[in-house]
Amino acid sequence: MPVQNNLKALRAEKKWSQEDLGKQLGVSRQAINAIERSKHDPSLQLAFTIAAIFNLPIEAIFIPAKFTDNSSE
């Protein structure tokens, strides 16, 4: 199950396009779009790099589904 994230909101706060962020991370705009839509989980290295760019801990950006899915209670 993909992790949920708030990457789109963080990117918007910086007024960066998906392409802007992708260039900083060395990935495509399409990769950023897939991560934002929870269609693709970033590698651990990419997650650390994203966290560093936003100066936040990883868990402030990425939330595993088991912590957001209340249907299994």
CA–CA separation, 41 and 46 (whole Å): 9
Q: What is the pLDDT of residues 29-70, one digit of tens each?
A: 999 999 999 999 999 999 999 999 999 999 999 987 666 555
Number of domains in the chain: 1
| Position 65 in a domain | no
| Position 70 in a domain | no
Domain boundaries, position 51: 4-55
pLDDT bucket at 71, cuts 50 / 70 / 90: very low
| Position 9 in a domain | yes
Using DSSP's 3-state secondary structure scheme, residue 5 falls into: strand
pTM of the entire predicted model: 0.84
Question: Which of the pair, 11 or 67, is modelled with greater confidence?
Answer: 11
| Position 66 in a domain | no
pLDDT bucket at 72, cuts 50 / 70 / 90: very low
| Position 50 in a domain | yes
The candidate with the shortest Cα–Cα distance to 5, out of 69, 59, 55, 46, is: 59
| Position 22 in a domain | yes
| Position 13 in a domain | yes
CATH code where residue 44 lies: 1.10.260.40
